[in-house]
Structure 1
Amino acid sequence: MYKIIQLIVFTYILQLLPVPVQAKITLSVLFTNNMVLQQKDNVPVWGSTSSGKDIRITTSWNNKVYTVKPGPDGKWKTTVSTPSYGGPYSMTFDDGEVLKLNNILIGEVWICSGQSNMEMPLAGWGKINNYKEEIAAASYPEIHLLQIQKNTSTTPLSEIKADGDGWQECTPSTISGFSSVAYFFAKNLFEAKHIPVGVIHTSWGGTIAEAWTSGAALKKMPEFLGEVERMENDKDFEKKETEKYNQEIAARNRTLDEKDPGLKTTSWASQAVDVSSWQTMSLPTLWEQAGLPDFDGMVWFRKKIMLPETWKGKSLTLNLGPIDDMDVTWFNGTVVGMTDGWERKRTYTIPGNLVKTGENIIAVRVLDGSGGGGIYGEPQKMFLQSNTGEKLELAGPWAYKVALTKEQLPAMPVQRVTGPNRPTVLYNAMIYPLIPYAIKGAIWYQGESNADRAYQYRELFPLMISDWRKNWGRGNFPFYFVQLANFMKPDQQPAESAWAELREAQKMTLSLPNTGMATAIDIGDENDIHPKNKQEVGRRLALIALANLYGENVAWSGPVYKSHKTEGNKIRLSFSHTDKGLRAKGSDTLKGFAIAGSDHKFYWATAAISGNEVVVSSPQVTDPVAVRYAWGNNPQANLCNAAGLPAPPFRTDDWQGITYGKK
């Protein structure tokens, strides 16, 4: 009886205690602790509530209270005013339950987007120069980072996906996987102005510009109209095409296995195979840098490891880091994992029944279709680990053998309606949900994936910029972009170039107001589409902002071709942005100029600096009509100004309305 009375009393007391209730307010992932809000602005803020009550928003920088009524669906949106830069501050959202955000900075917010050269992180698959030192020094509590997750959608989404808990402070632990270009742009801005900077990184390697453009805008271009309308109206077609593509991929994988010499007779993954004739490569590394220059195709790697008696029969974890592009991995002749995606880390579980005392064999078949290839991450990320935490390091020498060249590989099926390379799908999922978050401007590094359609890019790229500006509703906000760097083998003689035409299309986009272009024609890499010197790329983008947006008296562009005139057998070129005179960077003579007569045949030319002009000639051309500079995939290019900034490539024939190349 006594116990029953105790229970009744206890139950009564519980009823008197306050019941914990979760906050009813839900905010966009754009609004988290550590966020950066645009200074001196009316900043949109939005979210939803399940309470049905008014939302009271209090901002600590001015102790002002804003009240907003949610709609019938619980969604709400308002604006809050921000002062000049500063912080940290806080914001509270109250609908009966209080949600508080801390460590908010007010400063400048930039969108950073594009393809892999924007995506390339400080460490990992795209290690920048001196990446360890740069990461160790990356302690900037007034630079905050927001990493948007990759996503696609055929229709505009209302919510964005972001990594982790949203905004993060820039520290050595948060910066290593973040965009190098975005970081160095922000770092240079902050060190020059000491204004907090927020960078929102939303990019995807290998993607086309039309994927980042809205359907409404793309309908203005006849070549995209049909596909956009089909995506909007024919969902069954998308489902059928996806199934067809998956079937084609499965058929290709079967053909790969049939062609692979490593899977015939004695498998190259087995312990019985003779590897005495195989070569050795120290991993991790891209194989182009370790004995297989300019190689695309299939390569097998093998490593013999010795395991102790205590590991026998125990499951293990195999970490290989990232592999470019696709791998199949065996342990003692049995497949333990396979992954497709150059940026994805490989972590596989080894079943205990495969683990033996003494000699064990790890074999990895790597398939790469373009660009860099191989097992390329960080040495400390390659290891075998026991269930007790003991590690066996795997970095170092591995045996390798080429199985198939690119020419021997079966053709890759075309992704018709899946993946990121479709009109509008990245805009819908990775740009549209950011709108109308208050931003200062955008930086952009893309174009490689549109290089075979440069004349189309003349219309598409400015269309995309205008589309973003229109939809954001913030006027002609600053939009700064990177011109493609030099890449591939240099031409022995002047030649037509798709990459040169794409650079030209980028340069022509400067006709839009409030745009700027960072030239990278001098800091590329013949063997790597992802050049390492992202520090200079970020610096050059920041120079554009400092000069044009913040009024700093700094040089921000290399010499830009302005006009020319013919003087007998020579052509004289004039330039803007000469900044205290022209220079031949790293040499006594100018390089990269070619000249042509009325036969339209270009010859390498002699070029001499004359004040702020350049005089170009060739003994092979007596009646010149056109000059080209740095016109090629990977041209010699050393014309710069006193600030060391390079001249963008150009051709006088196209600017005159006479195009000798193919349109």
Structure 2
Amino acid sequence: MKGHLFKKTILGFVLLIVSSQVANATVTLPSFFTDNMVLQQKSAVQFWGESDAKSITIATSWDKKTYKTNVENGKWNVVFKTPVYGGPYKITINDGTIKTLSNILIGEVWLCSGQSNMEMPLEGWGKINNYKEEIANANYPQIRLLQAEHVESTLPLHTLKVQHDGWNVCSPQTIADFSATAYFFARKIFREKNIPIGLIHSSWGGTLIEAWTSSGALCAIHDFDTEIQAMKSETDAAALLQQYNADLADWEMKLRGSDKGFETGKVIWAIPNFDDSSWKTMTLPSFFDSNGLGNFDGIVWFRKKVNISTINADFTLSYYADDDDMIWVNGNYVGETKGYNVERHYTIPAKFLKKGENTITIRVFDGAGNGGIYGDENFFLKSGKETISLAGNWKYTIGADSKDLPAKPYLAQGQNRPSAIYNAMISPLVNYKIKGVIWYQGESNAERAFQYQKLFPLMINDWRTQFKDKNLPFLFVQLANYKQQKEQPGDSDWAELREAQFKTLKSVSNTGMAVTTDIGNGEDIHPKNKQDVGVRLANIALAKVYNTKTEYSGPLYKSYSIKANVVTIDFDFNENIKARDDMLKGFSIAGSDQKFHWADAKIVNGKVEVYAQEVSNPVSVRYNWADNPNGNLTNASGLPASSFRTDNWKGITEGKK
């Protein structure tokens, strides 16, 4: 009897241990394996995770199969085949504890990436055209959304940080903060094909293409060896920072030395009695690029006289400036701030002020893009209950032009270090089977547009290698029109970036390019019309990936010939080639002197003939070669022609790294 009880006690103890081990065995999945996810149809799909158990079983409801695999070093991986699109389905994982993923669809998975124009949400900071209506109508349960968080890393990561606990069903409640371009892309394809669409959105505003490329790929071109080595070595990183600080200090001395607002190191344009009668007038707050200064980069000084009736305490002043600013009141230095996205908060001591007329002077340095003083139109001085508006006319003049200085030293930091975003926001995804990629980026690389000619194909081929799909469709958006229009033809880094994108389209197979120079905004680097951008990308996918007969491209430059004073341009996609309205615009022509003149252009037998009275022996033709072009060449599709040039003369970005 005692022996029997002893055996039962031992057996119970063993069962307790086993059951305890089973209870503690809990499967862990990557952040993108969740309820509501989309798996790529008709594919061999990897599915993986971690567990404390020795083995694990996975059951898939679409084929009623059960897969068993061993757990090695805490990790497991299975591969199962997916059928043609459909759902919803379930996946059940059992390692002693059962975990079930529900509402899974099988369809098409697209990775959506780039910088701010891809990131731009329907609402939030984006507020696209008709955003309230678009959000209210976003009832598409067959479209699923996965939003990656902004993360950068020195080394490749295995875990993707995501928002909203993983995949979400597209609805008015979930779409507002998602990529507008990606959503309209998916909506168009779904309406046409009725196939579930999964969107993995992994973008980051203001980022450089080299940050999205693996270090292994970048090492092949040697343009970023120093930066990559610095990411591996604290000693090299410290040396790089020390050299940058020295170079920057030297450059800032040169900048200040060239600033006409200073004389022998002393500020002269901030003193109250300085004669600014010859200065021009600008309304603030605003960006000076769209107020008479075009695409100016450098230093602009602003002055305004303000009447103050009573002074009982210090005053405060808040505004934004792009990029750096300094402020004086009645010739007294108040402070300075660096950073285009930093709100200024200045306290003006009462001792700096006087009853009656006071002079406020603000010096703004802009390194690239828009510059000026911006923010709330009602920006004001405030002291207690008293407010004095500063909005309105200010006197301004140029202190220094960046064109007269060497290039400002640059140090890639944070997310813009080479490979830093790839490591954290792409690398964790490379085993997740996708159909293709849509990409909208390039604005941040415009100053190094010539280099982009090798960086862009490099990144595409790198991703194809990492995702183990040498033919992975890669569709991208060519930069939209932006900045002030110029009266005369000339150089443009944005045109050179578009050329790099166009060359990539020509040289890299299974790519597609959406031209958007007709739907941008000269005063806004983030144009609100994301509906057409998404649809244009979708039409490329429908034609090239889904074999749907649809128009998806405007004319693309093919070749040219010269006879006498006429240059004849031939195009691909030239069916019913025409001007969108009236006469053809946007063409310029030059002889061997490389001086371009606006040209007359006409369509003859499906080709464009270009000529100008000023150029008797033409050598080159350019079309839409500007930051903000106004060309109107199109075809039967109604889509715009890509910008192009027939010459290979050295551009303004060649040699910049």
What one-letter code is carried by the residue in structure 1 that aligns with 2:177? Answer: G
| Cα drift, residue 222 of structure 1 | 2.2
Amino acid at match of 1:44: Q
Matched to 1:618, the amino acid is A
- The answer to whether the Cα contact below 8 Å between 2:301 and 2:399 also exists between their aligned partners in 1 is no
Q: Distance in 2 between matches of 1:522 and 1:483?
A: 11
Distance 1:228 1:486 in 2: 33
Cα pair 1:141 1:169 within 8 Å, conserved:
yes
Partners of 1:247 and 1:652 in 2: CA distance: 42
Structure 1 residues 57 and 138, CA, compared in 2 at 3 Å: closer, same or farther?
Answer: same
Shift of 1:568: 2.0
- Confirm or deny: 8 A CA contact 2:536 2:552 kept in the other structure: yes
Whole-Å separation in 1 of the counterparts to 2:615 and 2:560: 17
Matches within 5 A, 1:49-448: 49=51, 51-72=52-73, 74-232=74-232, 234-238=233-237, 342=341, 370-371=369-370, 400=391, 416=411, 418-448=413-443
Quick one: which amino acid aligns to residue 191 of structure 1?
R
Helix, strand or coil at the partner of 2:424: helix
> Of 631, 634, 646, which aligns to 2:628?
634
Cα offset, 1:375, TM superposition: 8.1
Q: 1:457 matched to which residue of 2?
A: 452
Q: CA deviation at 1:291?
A: 9.2
Q: Are 1:569 and 2:570 matched, yes or no?
A: no
Q: CA deviation at 1:436?
A: 1.0
Aligned to 1:42: 44
Scaled by the length of structure 1, the TM-score of the pair is 0.74
Corresponding residue for residue 574 of structure 2: 578
Task: Give the aligned partner of residue 611 of structure 2.
Answer: 617
In structure 2, the partner of 1:497 is 492
Describe the superposition over 1:352-402 as per-residue Cα deviations: whole angstroms up to 9, x where unpaired: xxxxxxxxxxxxx9999654888879xxxxxxxxxxxxxxxxxxx986488
CA contact (8 A) 2:229 2:236 kept: no
User: What residue is the counterpart of 1:547 in the other structure?
Assistant: 543
Distance of aligned partners of 1:61 and 1:288 in 2 relative to their CA distance in 1, 3 Å threshold: farther
**Whole-angstrom distance in 1 between the partners of 2:650 and 2:239:** 43
Please tell me whether the aligned partners of residues 242 and 417 of structure 1 are also in contact (alpha carbons under 8 angstroms).
no
Q: Per-residue deviation at 1:606? A: 0.5
Shift of 1:237: 4.1
Asked if 1:532 corresponds to 2:533, the answer is no
Asked if structure 2 preserves the Cα contact closer than 8 Å seen for 1:366 and 1:374, the reply is no
The verdict on how the C-alpha distance between 1:39 and 1:116 changes in structure 2, with shifts beyond 3 A counting, is same
Q: Deviations over 1:492-527 (max 9, x none)?
A: 111111111111111111211101111111111111
Cα contact 1:484–1:499 (8 A) shared by 2: yes
Find the aligned partners of 2:289 and 2:116 in 1 and give their Cα distance.
20
Could you tell me how far apart the structure 1 residues matched to 2:53 and 2:455 are? 44
Taking structure 1 as reference, are residues 408 and 127 closer, same or farther at Cα in structure 2, changes over 3 Å only? farther
1:424-449: CA deviation from partner (whole Å, max 9, x where unpaired): 10111111111110000001111111
Conserved in 2, the CA contact under 8 Å of 1:600 and 1:660? Answer: no
Name the count of aligned residue pairs: 558
Within the alignment, does 1:474 sit opposite 2:484 as a pair?
Answer: no
SS at match of 1:555: coil
Residue 607 of structure 1 deviates from its aligned partner by 0.5
Structure 2 distance, partners of 1:62, 1:239, is 56
Equivalence for 1:381: none
Cα deviation for residue 48 of structure 1 reads 0.5
Partner of residue 314, structure 2: none
Per the TM alignment, residue 589 of structure 1 is displaced from its structure 2 partner at its CA by 0.3
Is the Cα–Cα contact under 8 Å of residues 493 and 652 in structure 2 kept in the other structure?
A: no
AA at the equivalent of 2:191? E
**Aligned partner of residue 653 in structure 1, secondary structure:** coil
In structure 2, distance between residues paired with 1:398 and 1:59: 66
- Deviation at residue 53 of structure 1 after TM alignment: 2.5
1:272 aligned partner:
none
Structure 2 counterpart of 1:394:
none
Matches within 5 A, 1:578-597: 578-579=574-575, 581-585=576-580, 587-597=581-591
Task: Specify the alignment match of 1:650 in structure 2.
Answer: 644
**Which of 483, 488, 499 does residue 483 from structure 2 map onto?**
488
- CA spacing shift, 1:323–1:631, aligned 2, 3 Å: closer
Q: 1:30 aligns with which of 32, 47, 69?
A: 32
What residue number does 2:597 align with?
Answer: 603
Distance 1:289 1:617, change over 3 A: closer
Deviation at 1:583?
A: 1.9
Deviation, structure 1 residue 236? 3.9
Which whole-Å CA distance do the structure 2 matches of 1:403 and 1:240 have between them?
43
The answer (yes or no) to whether the contact 1:188–1:539 under 8 Å persists in 2 is yes
Q: Distance in 1 between matches of 2:650 and 2:288?
A: 36
Q: Which amino acid aligns with 1:544?
A: I
Of 140-149 and 216-225, more deviation after overlay is shown by: 216-225
**Structure 1 CA distance, aligned partners of 2:242 and 2:467?**
36
In structure 2, relative to structure 1, the CA distance for the partners of 1:248 and 1:165 (3 Å cut) is farther
Distance in 1 of aligned mates of 2:419 and 2:339: 24
In 2, Cα distance between equivalents of 1:650 and 1:62: 51
CA contact (8 A) 1:245 1:413 kept: no
Measure, in 2, the Cα distance between the counterparts of 1:341 and 1:66. 54
Once the two structures are TM-superposed, the CA of residue 611 in structure 1 deviates from its matched residue by 3.1
Distance 1:237 1:224, change over 3 A: closer
- Paired residues of 1:325 and 1:374 also in contact (CA < 8 A): no
* Partner amino acid, structure 1, of 2:518: D
Check whether the contact 2:113–2:438 (CA below 8 A) recurs between aligned residues. Answer: yes
Partner AA of 1:195 in structure 2: I
Q: Measured at CA, do residues 152 and 513 of structure 1 come closer, stay the same or move farther in structure 2, by a change above 3 Å?
A: same
For the 8 Å contact 1:653–1:659, the answer to whether it is kept is no
Residue 543 of structure 1 deviates from its aligned partner by: 0.9
Structure 1 residue identity aligned to 2:561: K
**Structure 1 residues 324, 537: closer, same or farther in 2, change over 3 A?**
farther
Sort the Cα spacing of 1:299 and 1:30 in 2 relative to 1 into closer, same or farther, 3 A. Answer: farther
> 1:161, 1:535 → 2: CA distance?
28
Which structure 2 segments of 5+ residues have no match?
Answer: 1-15, 257-266, 271-281, 304-317, 326-336, 344-361, 377-387
Whichever residue aligns with residue 95 of structure 1, its letter is D
Task: Name the SS of the counterpart of 1:526 in structure 2.
Answer: coil
Separation in 2, partners of 1:660, 1:241:
29
5+ residue gaps, structure 1 = 1-14, 256-260, 265-278, 301-319, 328-337, 347-364, 378-396
Report the AA paired with residue 192 of structure 1. E
Structure 2 length-normalised TM: 0.75
Label 1:325 to 1:43 Cα distance change in 2 as closer, same or farther (>3 A). Answer: farther
Cα shift at 1:536: 0.8
Q: How far apart are the structure 2 equivalents of 1:497 and 1:290?
A: 17
Shift in alpha-carbon separation, 1:152–1:242, aligned structure 2, 3 A:
farther
